[in-house]
Each structure stands twice: as structure tokens, then as C-alpha cells.
Structure 1
């Protein structure tokens, strides 16, 4: 009897395992796959556009595929057709005037239609047998081009966000009928996902660089000189009205005025340094939440804190940014100063040019004879960029960052680095319990009392350094942490004030406390020059994209476009 029970027990277990395995083997792949979407757009002189969308797609559920297209304004979708590639030949689907979403899989097979909504349409077609297929959708958009006061405009959302199965690869090609798009007559930008947009052979070409995710989308904006289009939708606005809205929250930037900070470091020996600038690196890929509830630059005036807030200054990138200071660029600047202080980088001058055209240029020599320990992987990655930029001679010159960042791969690495600095900052805040949690234990971006107290120390220490000239010689002589103090002065961009006061010290104080004012001056100049050169070289590469001549897309922004919508897929 016991033996029979054991046999039954084993049989039940094996049955359960079989059912469990079968269930997961059949449901594991129970998801649609959108392998590739190639879209071709031909814009005609009358302002309309013929669009062809080739979908390499496999549907595993539902009876149809649908694409919402909203925000049509005065545009209409006409001449909609769907076909399928079968054995290398194109099989055209039957177009139904009234599409019924409730019909069965078989009833919708080889058919297509349009569902009209109050705010747009849905392009629909039956998928038939569940297997990988190539579909070709074609349709015309009237009034695709918008005729503005100062230019014509193309502003269309081609790939929706919140698709059930986003395409893994997206390529979009936009051409003019019997004419071309180029840098002379057009400006271009792309939003919503990581990709590149460029002028290629008279066409606007967008290519994704990473797999599209559900929260991604692809929107293309183009400013086009007037003169080619004879029709389109007339909108009594200027292009900048749309561009401003599209750029909001994106990594594209408006033109900004340059800082004259380096005038304080002017020197007859280095006249070119006067024009160097410290600028923000770039807006984040995504719209990050700001830390709230803490003190900011300008608060707590005339209140001071005389101790460094934390020795982990390299983790303050996003904390500083939210407090009104520079963010990741401040930390990069401080790293350069620290490397010079620690003699990992040695400031030198080199002669460049020949004969009467010779001039002295700043350089940094990598010290091979020092055992330097990096604080974390992020610092190590940043320094490795310096090493690669310096090339074989291990001497970094001012213009070598520009050459280094010509590579798109290096641009992406630098962008990842600055994002990593901000992520490190968020981790620092959480590790120290500086922000509140929700009832469910999820971190917020709201400072608690402990976090507010930390920002108070940070701002009071900033005030202390900013008002450094008010300190007496005795107070300065009592300072024991000069290297850390200068790091924070660099973070807060008040090194000029600190240096000015140091120059007033008596020779006795300077000798007693081993303060080399000339070395400090050199270290501060070089750290600013080379960190800013690095940042500005990256800035230039991004500005080329921001200027509308092509380059990287922005992973966010692009709001205010026409067409597209949210959602879509199988149903």
C-alpha cells in the first residue's frame, strides 16, 4: 500500500512538473516581437507626404494590429493600404470602409481599415496566422508640412511611446520630391530615443542606436527654408515657438552666453586662457527629479561653517546641481585639481610652432612614478580618458580633448561618465539617509531633517569660502586642510577669492604652514583650463546636434509635435 502511495505521489509530482514546465514554455515567448521598422517618407511640393512603413513583426495574440495617429490638426490620412510579403511577392490586403475591431482573427485576415476617433485615427489590419511576417503599410498625410511665419516645418511623431512591442531597430528616411534636404536649406533634430539624425545624400536619415523601449518614441523636427512648398497647413506662429517647446526637457540646448571667469587668470604668458569658459555639460537624458527641501546658494548669508562638509566631495555632483552650483563639471574640475595636487599630473609648458610663430602652451604630464589610488571606478574611468587623449607621449595638451571627443564612441563614454557622477551622488544621499521614504519604503527626492542639515553645512561652507577675504591672518593660519579647502573652492568656483587672500599672507605664515602660493596658482589655472577644455570639447560635439546640422538625438523632449500618439500594437 505504501509503495502504491509513493508511486501515486511521484506521479502527481511529475505531472505537476510537466504542467508547470509546459505552462512556462508556452507562455515564456507569449509576447509579440517587433524586429525592425523601416519608414520612408516622400514629401511633395503641395505639402503632403507619402509614407511607407515596413514592419518585420511577429504577433502572438489578438486578431489585429493597430497604430493610433492623433494630433492631426488639419491633416488627413488617405490612401491607406496594407500588404504582406509572401514568397518574395507583395500580397495586397483588402481595404474595408468600416473596420470592426470586434471581428475574429479569421474575419480580419488579409484585410485592413481605419477607425476614426475624435482626436485622430487608428490604422488597423488583421494579422492572420501567428508567425513572423513582413508587412508594408502605405498612406498619405495631407498638410504634412506646416507653413509658419518665418519658415516651413516638419514636426511628426513617427514611433509611438507605450507600444506593446516597440521595434528593436528603427530607420527613418525623409526625402523631397525632385529636390533635396541639406544643411543649407534645413535644420534637423530628433527626440524620444537614442539615435542619430543626419543629412545623407539629400535626405534626412534617422537611425536608432539602441533598442527602442516602451517609454521611448521617435519624433523628428525640421526647420525648412521657404520657397519649395506650394501648400501645407498655415500656422501663424514662428518656428521658435515650436522649437522652444520641443527643446524643453531635452538634451538639446539653446545658444548661451559664455562666461568670462578666466579673465582673473589672465597672464602675458598665456593670453589664450582668457577666453576659456566653464559651462554646464548638458541636460540629462531624462528629466531628473530635483532634490527638494534643502538650502541653496544665496541662502544663510553671513552664516558660516568652517569644516569641510564631507571628505567624499566626488559624490556631490547632483547635490551641488540641485543647490544651484555646477554639477558634474564641478566634480571633474575638482578631480583635475586633486590630480595636480597629488602630483599625478604635472603642469608643464611646451613650445609650439616655429621661429617667430613659436608660443608657449599649457600641458599636463602624466606622472608614471607615482602610486596613486583611485577612490572609485568613476575616477579611474575619467583618468583613463585623460590617458587616451594624451596619446603615446603621455603629455596632455590643451587641444587634445577636442581630437579625443571627435569619436562618437568617446562622446557616449563621456556622457555615461557624467551620468555616473550624478548616480553616485544620488547613492550618497540615500546611503546617508538624507531623503525621506514613502510609506512603501521607496526613496523620494525630498530632504529630511538630516539632509537639510547637510545642505546647511554645504551652503555655510560655501559662504565661508566666498567671504574668505574677510578672514584674519590668524584665522587662516589655523586652517589645517588646505588641499580639501581648495577642492571645495574649486567645486564652488571661488578659488579666485581664496587665492587673493593667500597672497596677502606674511612670508612667515606661508613658510610655517608650507603654503606655496605660486604652486596653488598654477594648480588652479591648469585644473580650470584642462577640465574646461574637456567639458567644452564635449559641449561642442553636442552643440553641433543642437544647432540642427545633425548628430545625436535627444532621448526626451519633442513635445508639441503632430501625428503619432501613445500606445498601439496587438489587440
Structure 2
């Protein structure tokens, strides 16, 4: 009797285990193979083949989320299973039963997106075929045609074991087509005019980015942006970006912006800034050359990330009446003999950009450093460090006191140095502390760069040099959802021309003879502008060639000027690292497991689809 009871109980336990084991099995997606055929008008006719194992008996349907369409339409959706066509239910009803959804499909419209839905129909292994049209998939930009589409959204449950995305065109893709893939471990290539991306490891999502010559497709979707606008979003946090891990939160960045803005408001700046005020404090009798020779080591890591987005920034502030701006060459042998703008030099950033088409943040930083060295508010030094049996010299910067009369971006840059100081035990900021700070706050340099452009626009508008009418963006992919419609006003046109003529004056050493050697303080303030023009070495040589006494009377020397220029060149090469990595991969190769922000058909967060 006991044996019978024991056998019965054992059988019952086994039955329960089998039942619960069966119902707890998870669905599987073995593979998703996507083929997109793009016609001459940029429409993609898509076929997706899902090979799955349906094992969740509580589920009644499969679904795929497509979000952030931003003007793109999805139409002509159809589904078949194992070769059998389904019938559409319009609109799709989530509350239908398993039997009612069987052999049917439909769509659910969402805000700026939709869900493609179909009934599971039968549990076990299935092959579903989805077809639909992306109208259009090609985006016409100012400089290129682009495909930037997330075919498989993140948070698909379960994630597929394998994905492939094949893109065909009405004519083979040319060799100059640039191509990138994001969201999975694998590769992408242009094979005989056909773009093929395949996973070879883990899959998170599936995104393809293509850059083609402008006019390749007659697409109806036009966006007033250059390709670099999307490239920089794609690079961020991708494997193409050096040191892509970012530990700084959006809240932290917002706080940083607010702190800097609060500082500027506390300044009570009334627009009466005098360039000579840069030199209110007495000179430091330190070795300027030694100080500036260590700057490349100390700041290369800090500034490397600042410039990647600057082209995007310049596009955002491009004047709508730029035709009124003459080429600087038209002002040859025309001169303006005084500092053209009586305000913080950083305010002139956009004027400098309009005139010389260069993103020269480093030149403005050099101007800040010249001021601080002059004021004696920073100290440099060297000390020996022993590693194993070797002794080598390391350099450091020490902040003595806070500079006076700081403008907005100058103050923000100084705040960064103060943050770096907190990483030290003795206040000596070495390369180690700079690197630690950058590793923990990677997006802060970008904030500083954006602040330079925005502050310049705000101050020049306040001074009625520019005007700006903001309009809501039709396609917004960042926190900045407005377009700047910047106009050069008559006063701004005069500043622009005087800005160019003043550079001509500084570069023409023969005109310096007009000045009195007793105006050395004035000449030193001229050196600030020489720094933002990027001609400080030439100007210093001109000054000393005309008046050799200047070298003794000035707070600067040629060795320091030369080193600050070397520093600028060093920084300029550093900032391109991430962008160059991106371009170097543009002919195919490995995919990036992360990155690709701002794409169409994707978006971050939320479900990517699965069973329900």
C-alpha cells in the first residue's frame, strides 16, 4: 500500500513538473532576416522573415513596434505564416481571443509610431513573413541622401539569436556609399552593390546608416540638416567613439548649465566691458614658456571631446542672409586700427566663425589662459616621480585664486579646472586628474562648446548685431526643438567687416610703426585678439621687430606664444579622433553594439515587440 502511495505521489509530482515546465518555457526568436528594396523615389519595400518557437500559452499575438517615424509612413502591411496568407482586421483589437486573432493581422497607430500585430495561430515552430512599405526610407539632406533606419527596435522580447538586414537599390549602391551598422555584434559590407549587415554575436537592436551622393534618390522627405548632424548623434556612445562610456547623467549636465548661467547673471554685465580690463592685475614673473609647454599634456584629454559637434553647432547658427557677408579676401589692404568689439572676446565667436569658417574654440581658450597667466592666478610646477627604478618629471597646474571679470564660457572653463582640483590631494592638477575628470564627465566638454555658440548668439542679439527668430522644428531629435533663424543686422555687418580689417591690421607689421611704444598695455590686449585669430606668433614677431623693447616691457614672450600655438595644434588633432574612427569605418567592417541615436523608426525605451 505504501509503495502504491509512493508511486502515485511520484507520478503526481512528475506530472506537475511537466505541466509547469511546459507552461514556463519562453518563446524564442531564432532569426529575423530583413530585405529592403529601395525604389527610385526612396520608398523601401520590406520583407521580414521571423523564425520563431511559440511556447508561451498565455500569449495570443506577436507584435513589432516602430516608433519615432517623424514624417515616414508605414503602409501595405501584410503577414503570412508558413506560406499561408493572413487576413487583415482593421483596426486591430488587442482584446480579441486567441481564436479570433488566428490567421489575422492588423496595425495599431501610436503617437509618432505604430505596432504591427498578428495572431500566433499555432504554437510551436513557425515562420512568419511580414511585408510592408516604408514611405520613404531615404532622407534628402543638404549635402547627401541618407538612410538612417532602425529596422529592429531595442527591447524586443525575446531578443533574436541572429539578424540580417539586406538593402537593395533600384541601381547597385556605388562604391562611395558610406555604411555603418549599430545594435549588434557583427559586420556590414557593400557586396556587389548590395548592403548586407549580419550579426555574429549578441543582438540588442538592428540599425543601418547609409550616406549616398545627393540626388541618388528622388525622395519626398527633405530635412534642412547636413549629414554631420546625424553622424554626431550616431557616434555618441558607440564603439566608433573613443572612451564611449559616459558616467555623467543628463541631470548633472543640466546642473552644470544652470550653474554657469547663474554665474553669468551674477556678473551684472552691462555691455560696457573694456578689452583693457583683461590686464587689471600685475604680471607674474614665472616662466611663461614652461607653463605653456605642459598644457598639451594637461588639457588634451579634457578638450578632446569639445569639438566633435562644432560643425553641427555652426549649421545651427548659420545666418539666413549670409549673402551680405563679403569674403575676407575682398578687404585686402583695408584696416581697422582698434579692437572691434568692446565686450568679452568670447562674444565674437560667431562673427569669427562667419568670417573664417573655422571652429576655433581652442583659440578662445588660449585667450582665457593668456589672461589668467597675466593676472598671476595660476601656478605651474614640476616634481619628480619614481616608478620602479626610473625617475621622471611630471608637471602640474595649481590654481592660486579665482580670476576676476570672467565671462560666461571663461568661467565655465575655470569651473572645470576647479573640479579637476578636487581629484587631487595637494591641489596640484596633473594629467592623471584631468583624465579622471574627463572619464567621469565625458559630456561636459560638449556642453561647454554648445555654450560658446549659444552665448555668442545671445550677446550679439542683445547688442543688436544679430537678430534671431526661433521656429519649431518639424523633425526634432534632441533637446533643442527649435531652429535659429539668425539674421545679420546693419550693426553686425559693420562688426563683421571691422573684425576682418582688424586682423589685417595686426598681420601688417608695417602699420605698427604708427603706434607709440608706450602703448604696450594696448599691444598686450591686442595679443588677446591675435590669439582668437590664430596669428599670435606672427603678431608678436611683428611687434618685437618694430620695437625690440616690447619683449622686455610685455608680459608675454615668444617662447610662451609658440608653445600656446603648439598646444592649439595638438588639441585640434585630438578632437578629431572619434569622428575619424567613424569615417574610417565608413566602407564597411564591424558593427557597433551601441550608438546610433536619433535614427528613424527606432527611438529609445519602451517595448520593441514580442509576444503578448
TM-score (norm 1): 0.54
Contact 2:296 2:567 in 1 (8 A): no
Q: Residue 316 of structure 2 aligns with which residue? A: 288
- Residue 305 and residue 397 in structure 1: after superposition, are their counterparts in 2 closer, same or farther (change >3 A)? farther
- Residue 113 and residue 248 in structure 1: after superposition, are their counterparts in 2 closer, same or farther (change >3 A)? same
Aligned equivalent of 1:321, options 349, 353, 372: 353
Contact 1:436 1:447 in 2 (8 A): yes
In 2, the alpha carbon distance for the partners of 1:318 and 1:266 equals 30
The question of 1:303 aligning with 2:334 is answered yes
TM alignment of 1:462-477, pairs within 5 A:
462-468=503-509, 471-472=512-513, 474=515
In 2, the alpha carbon distance for the partners of 1:315 and 1:125 equals 54
In 1, the alpha carbon distance for the partners of 2:525 and 2:156 equals 49
In 2, the alpha carbon distance for the partners of 1:344 and 1:353 equals 29
TM alignment of 1:476-515, pairs within 5 A:
478=519, 480-506=521-547, 508=549, 514-515=553-554
Contact 1:333 1:532 in 2 (8 A): no
Structure 1 residues 367-407: Cα deviation after superposition (integer angstroms, max 9, x where no partner): 32x352352453333223223445414334457544543x2
How large is the RMSD of aligned CA atoms in angstroms? 5.8
In 1, the alpha carbon distance for the partners of 2:329 and 2:158 equals 48
SS at match of 2:404: coil
Which range moves more in the overlay, 339-348 or 284-293?
284-293
Unaligned residue ranges in structure 2 (runs of 5+):
1-27, 64-78, 80-84, 108-112, 120-126, 133-146, 165-178, 187-198, 217-225, 241-287, 472-482, 608-612
TM alignment of 1:26-105, pairs within 5 A:
48-49=33-34, 73=44, 75-78=46-49, 89-92=58-61, 97-99=86-88, 101=90
Q: Residue 521 of structure 1 aligns with which residue? A: 559
Structure 1 residues 287-325: Cα deviation after superposition (integer angstroms, max 9, x where no partner): 524122334543411111121122321223333223223
- Residue 159 and residue 418 in structure 1: after superposition, are their counterparts in 2 closer, same or farther (change >3 A)? farther
The question of 1:338 aligning with 2:376 is answered no
Structure 1 residues 231-271: Cα deviation after superposition (integer angstroms, max 9, x where no partner): xxxx9xxxxxxxxx965752279x9xxxxxxxxx999x979
Q: Residue 384 of structure 1 aligns with which residue? A: 415
Aligned equivalent of 2:105, options 85, 94, 113: 113
Contact 1:157 1:564 in 2 (8 A): yes
In 2, the alpha carbon distance for the partners of 1:528 and 1:423 equals 26
In 1, the alpha carbon distance for the partners of 2:156 and 2:517 equals 61
In 2, the alpha carbon distance for the partners of 1:447 and 1:82 equals 63
The question of 1:417 aligning with 2:405 is answered no
Question: Residue 106 of structure 1: CA displacement?
Answer: 7.6
Structure 1 residues 310-348: Cα deviation after superposition (integer angstroms, max 9, x where no partner): 232122333322322334333223222222222222344
The question of 1:202 aligning with 2:173 is answered no
Q: Residue 150 of structure 2 aligns with which residue? A: 158
Which range moves more in the overlay, 348-357 or 447-456?
348-357
In 2, the alpha carbon distance for the partners of 1:399 and 1:357 equals 18
Question: Residue 219 of structure 1: CA displacement?
Answer: 4.3
Larger relative helix fraction? 2
Structure 1 residues 339-371: Cα deviation after superposition (integer angstroms, max 9, x where no partner): 22222223445556789976666x452232x35
In 2, the alpha carbon distance for the partners of 1:71 and 1:378 equals 44
Question: Residue 77 of structure 1: CA displacement?
Answer: 3.6
In 1, the alpha carbon distance for the partners of 2:372 and 2:593 equals 33
In 2, the alpha carbon distance for the partners of 1:451 and 1:106 equals 63
- Residue 250 and residue 221 in structure 1: after superposition, are their counterparts in 2 closer, same or farther (change >3 A)? closer
Q: Residue 167 of structure 2 aligns with which residue? A: none
Structure 1 residues 157-196: Cα deviation after superposition (integer angstroms, max 9, x where no partner): 1279xxxxxx998999776479xxxxxxxx9555xxxxx9
Question: Residue 432 of structure 1: CA displacement?
Answer: 1.6
In 2, the alpha carbon distance for the partners of 1:488 and 1:266 equals 20
Unaligned residue ranges in structure 1 (runs of 5+):
1-39, 52-69, 116-120, 128-136, 143-154, 161-166, 179-186, 191-195, 207-217, 224-234, 236-244, 256-264
- Residue 499 and residue 437 in structure 1: after superposition, are their counterparts in 2 closer, same or farther (change >3 A)? closer
- Residue 295 and residue 339 in structure 1: after superposition, are their counterparts in 2 closer, same or farther (change >3 A)? farther
TM-score (norm 2): 0.51
Contact 2:466 2:486 in 1 (8 A): yes
